[in-house]
Structure 1
Amino acid sequence: MPRRHMHMAGADGAALGAALRELRTRLGVPGAFPAKVLAEAEGAAAAPRMPAEDATDIPLFTIDPPASVDLDQAMHLVKRPAGGYRVHYAIADVAAFVTPGGALDAEARRRVTTLYFPDGRVPLHPPVLSEGAASLLPDQARPALLWRLDLDADGRVETTDVRRAVVRSRARLDYEGVQKAIDTGTAEPALALLKEVGALREALETARGGISLNVPEQEVVARDGSYGLVYRAPLPADGWNAQISLMTGMAAADLMLASGTGILRTLPAAPDGAVGRLRRAAQALRIDWPHHVPYAALVRSLDPRIPAHAAFLQECTALLRGAGYTVFTGGERPEHAVHAAVAAPYTHCTAPLRRLVDRYAGELCVAAAAGVAAPGWAREALTTLPHEMRDGTRLANSVERECVDLVEAAVLKDRVGETFEATVIDVEERDPQDGTVHLEDPAVVGRVKSPAGPLPLGDRIRVRLTQADPGTAKILFAPA
């Protein structure tokens, strides 16, 4: 899970734009797609491998940010006559366009994941596919992996099926519109059920000890000709939508485990030291965390619209470090099969337009559901896929981390010497004069160095910005 999400809302600044271009070069970010790859993608877009089954009668809909065009998932929910629910969840079938061993396949394995920059993105697949022929855009017949999940009245999965089918989304929705429709009672029945099923799945998550972090998005906004930073708190609809994807990833993991071949997304339990650090951050931010209250219960009690809570949720993402991919074959269950944050076996399978591993996981699940052996290309890739995903994820994390630094420096570039209200949220154990402060306005978390003595953990202090220059100097504060 990314530490922070960012996007530009307003015109790009010259200094920031130049720094972002230099960052792409320094990190070795892929540039334009080679001509051979583009030609293969054009051919695949014109003649995809369409499945025989027609499921275009299911009135699916997508939920994404308003500007998104690389639409991986579409869903439909209905109550079952005998009780419980049926969820149809269509996932873009990238394998219908990518030929194993071809130029497009090789390029995707080189890129591994879509990279997100404040001024744009570097896609995993050429836009003719990711934003066109493979995307589940409305009113278009598309090849998909169609999941059918039957749930009981409490939201537990009773039966799972996934197969290839042609689907057609009826509507492209966004989170704010979905939230408004549900809150005002104007949502169509299938959409209204998203809240009902999402809430049930959240309750099950709580019961099994899982946790979803509602991490605020950090937005760059234009303010009187300059820049500002604000947080956008996730809506309840974001969480309900995420629960459908999470449920599918858990069902996929169960399918693969039952078949004896697959790839899981795993995360070990957080070490005691990491939790101790979070307790110090909670104290610093004046968040009451009694010792008898579990970490998961505390996180669920937080409101990401409150700045101190938002800062703490950002720090909580540190517990997600150490996640990786675990491969198993030959019918043996892996020793480490659980994702600690999910509190169950889980896999990535719902974003194949943006993440390499999902194409392979989806293929393995289709084979498992049909009771047949997975194709050789999917099984053979398992030997190298964890390493490819590790390297690709590492690059994506570097891009995100560096972009945060650049955006914050660009926003504050002309404010060096100014003072701000801040809270000391962390102090280095080995050097108590070095730490981290949280500013509420602008929405910045930055380093602070105190030449005069130890920093007062948890105190609200005035700090002076001593440096900020995108591409040259990361932001740094000192006590004022």
Structure 2
Amino acid sequence: MAATRVAHGGGDASAVPAGTAAAGNPDFSAIRAELGLPVEYPSAALSEVEQTAAQPVLDVARVDATDLPMVTVDPAGAKDLDQALLIDRRGRRGYRVHYAIADVAAFVPPGGALDAEVRSRGQTLYLPDGNVPLHPTLLSEGAASLLPEQRRPAVLWTIDLDRDGTAVGVDVRRAVVRSVARLDYEGVQQSLELGAAPPAVALLPEVGRLRREQAVHRGAIELGPPEQQVESDGAGGWRLTLRPRLPLEAFNAEISLLTGMCAAQIMLSGGIGVLRTVPDPEDRTIAALRRSALELGLEWPDRQTPAEFLSGLDPARPEALALHVSATRLLRGAGYTVFDGGVPDKVRHAGIGAAYAHVTAPLRRLADRYGTEICLAVHAGREVPEWVRAALPQLPSAMGSSDRAAGQVERACIAQAQAWALAGRIGDEFTATVLRSGSAGESGEVFVPAPPVIARCCGDHLSEGQRVRVRLTEADPVQRDVAFEVVAPTPV
């Protein structure tokens, strides 16, 4: 499902009027064609999948971990299940995290037709009317997916934490696992609130909070406002909604981040790896954000880091909404850093506040398969496989291209849904929050909460965080363009 993170000025997504597409069962095929998204897999790759799905590579040492009652936790309806989780206590010493990751390498022979195809795709692309998967669904939603009550090859991470949530021991090895249940975020969140959480994830909030506290102390710059989403309206059309991020989702993400940080440390210790990096923001960028906070009337104590300040903001406040958008400038320059034979100078991911590597979503992201193989080899004291070493130099380009494609798909789908939602409403007025004031000769940007739309807006003397009255001047589904003009330039 296409989604983009936006700040929310208040309200309930379930109460947002449905802004649906025009009649005729519209879809997103024009976007698929325009961006040249792949439609089918080469026949040789499909033949290979049929063979490996029936006979995965299992002739390696594997721990039998089928006695661990792990569960998967994903969006409702998800079938490409990369991760299974179980958290236990270690007496009074802390916690033990069992985290099983789908072992995609067991199904993708290096140098084969499928390997070549997934390297050209890079990652799964999500559209509201269906995704463009990295791997064929026979694999990603079937043989390799950690579906419940199925024996599956996996890579099992066992991470011991102390009572403060700090990792004090890490083990990673190949295993066979069996998930006992497929859970979804909403259902687990409800069970937690009722005090009846499934045993495997009962400790997730406790560990998740500890890890979040540590993230702030590390200086992790996290922007996590609600998501703008496109979903079916049940009548052949589409509507925009704004879905707040559930606490459970944030806690679950912390386990993935924990694993990625442990993976990065293994790679750095071995002098070989592929890190996801984001440079720390420059002092002048932080100073500019401080000025924005001052202009918005938000108090930012001198001693507070950006991470501490942003973590304490209430995104329901219009001025906080605007600052969250401005804060995206702190996380520019994301990329992939490959190294072999030494350690690079810059290894940090500013959004995480530490070195970090992708290893937890191999069904949906190419780099994770290679990162996982490196960790398995380094941890066991073995040589990294040559097919991994040979592919490392090409990974940054492949992942960068697929990241750009994912961004294009997301933006196009949101823009299309916004235009559909507002088509036929030219001249209507809305309450909006100014996200960007614009500059001389350029439009600003506003957020309209109902339906949840972000679009350009013309008007003089706009101020970030200001509440204004705007009039819709353009809603073109063909060009996927929406625009407003200010009616009342004063706060409303």
Give the structure-1-normalised TM-score.
0.91
Q: Is 1:143 equivalent to 2:153 in the alignment?
A: yes
- Alpha-carbon contact 1:15-1:410 (below 8 Å) kept: no
CA RMSD of aligned residues (A): 2.7
The structural deviation recorded for 1:456 is: 4.5
Matches within 5 A, 1:301-312: 301-304=312-315, 309=320, 312=323
3-state SS, counterpart of residue 355 of structure 2: coil
Structure 1 residue aligned with 2:257, among 226, 229, 246? 246
- Tell me, which stretches of 5 or more residues in structure 2 are unaligned? 7-12, 488-492
Partner Cα separation in structure 1 for residue 39 and residue 290 of structure 2? 42
Identity of aligned residues (%): 49
Matches within 5 A, 1:342-381: 342-381=352-391
Aligned to 1:4: 4
- Alpha-carbon contact 1:423-1:458 (below 8 Å) kept: yes
Aligned to 1:234: 245
The structural deviation recorded for 1:310 is: 5.0
Q: Residues 11 and 324 of structure 1: is their aligned pair in 2 closer, same or farther, counting only changes over 3 Å?
A: same
3-state SS, counterpart of residue 393 of structure 1: helix
3-state SS, counterpart of residue 414 of structure 2: helix
Is 117-126 or 358-367 further displaced after alignment? Answer: 117-126
Is 91-100 or 111-120 further displaced after alignment? Answer: 111-120
1:127-181 deviation line (CA, Å, top 9, x unaligned): 0000011011110011101001111111111111111011000111111221222
Q: Is 1:460 equivalent to 2:467 in the alignment?
A: yes
Q: Residues 438 and 279 of structure 1: is their aligned pair in 2 closer, same or farther, counting only changes over 3 Å?
A: farther
Aligned to 1:34: 42
Aligned to 2:93: 83
Letter aligned with residue 396 of structure 2: P
Q: Residues 346 and 457 of structure 1: is their aligned pair in 2 closer, same or farther, counting only changes over 3 Å?
A: closer
3-state SS, counterpart of residue 122 of structure 1: coil
Q: Residues 12 and 58 of structure 1: is their aligned pair in 2 closer, same or farther, counting only changes over 3 Å?
A: farther
Letter aligned with residue 307 of structure 2: A
Partner Cα separation in structure 1 for residue 376 and residue 92 of structure 2? 27
Is 352-361 or 459-468 further displaced after alignment? Answer: 459-468
Q: Is 1:95 equivalent to 2:95 in the alignment?
A: no
Q: Is 1:479 equivalent to 2:486 in the alignment?
A: yes
Q: Residues 158 and 95 of structure 1: is their aligned pair in 2 closer, same or farther, counting only changes over 3 Å?
A: same
Partner Cα separation in structure 2 for residue 455 and residue 411 of structure 1? 25
Q: Residues 23 and 271 of structure 1: is their aligned pair in 2 closer, same or farther, counting only changes over 3 Å?
A: farther
1:236-277 deviation line (CA, Å, top 9, x unaligned): 111110110000000000001111111111110124565466
Partner Cα separation in structure 1 for residue 355 and residue 92 of structure 2? 29
Partner Cα separation in structure 2 for residue 353 and residue 16 of structure 1? 34
Structure 2 residue aligned with 1:444, among 444, 447, 453? 453
Q: Residues 200 and 26 of structure 1: is their aligned pair in 2 closer, same or farther, counting only changes over 3 Å?
A: same
Partner Cα separation in structure 2 for residue 429 and residue 273 of structure 1? 19
Q: Is 1:325 equivalent to 2:336 in the alignment?
A: yes
Q: Residues 38 and 285 of structure 1: is their aligned pair in 2 closer, same or farther, counting only changes over 3 Å?
A: farther
The structural deviation recorded for 1:315 is: 4.7
- Alpha-carbon contact 2:419-2:480 (below 8 Å) kept: yes
The structural deviation recorded for 1:400 is: 1.2
Partner Cα separation in structure 1 for residue 361 and residue 233 of structure 2? 34
Partner Cα separation in structure 2 for residue 37 and residue 195 of structure 1? 41
- Alpha-carbon contact 2:338-2:396 (below 8 Å) kept: yes
Partner Cα separation in structure 2 for residue 454 and residue 310 of structure 1? 19
Partner Cα separation in structure 1 for residue 98 and residue 181 of structure 2? 15
3-state SS, counterpart of residue 336 of structure 2: strand
Partner Cα separation in structure 2 for residue 418 and residue 442 of structure 1? 12
3-state SS, counterpart of residue 367 of structure 2: helix
Is 439-448 or 285-294 further displaced after alignment? Answer: 285-294
Structure 2 residue aligned with 1:295, among 272, 285, 306? 306
Give the structure-2-normalised TM-score.
0.89
The structural deviation recorded for 1:212 is: 2.9
Partner Cα separation in structure 1 for residue 318 and residue 129 of structure 2? 25
Partner Cα separation in structure 1 for residue 177 and residue 234 of structure 2? 46
Q: Is 1:114 equivalent to 2:145 in the alignment?
A: no
Aligned to 2:280: 269
- Alpha-carbon contact 2:3-2:230 (below 8 Å) kept: no
The structural deviation recorded for 1:429 is: 3.1
Q: Residues 427 and 309 of structure 1: is their aligned pair in 2 closer, same or farther, counting only changes over 3 Å?
A: closer
Q: Is 1:131 equivalent to 2:141 in the alignment?
A: yes
Aligned residues: 475
Letter aligned with residue 4 of structure 1: T
Partner Cα separation in structure 2 for residue 224 and residue 67 of structure 1? 16
The structural deviation recorded for 1:206 is: 1.7
- Alpha-carbon contact 2:3-2:414 (below 8 Å) kept: no
Letter aligned with residue 191 of structure 2: A
- Alpha-carbon contact 1:194-1:241 (below 8 Å) kept: yes
The structural deviation recorded for 1:228 is: 4.9
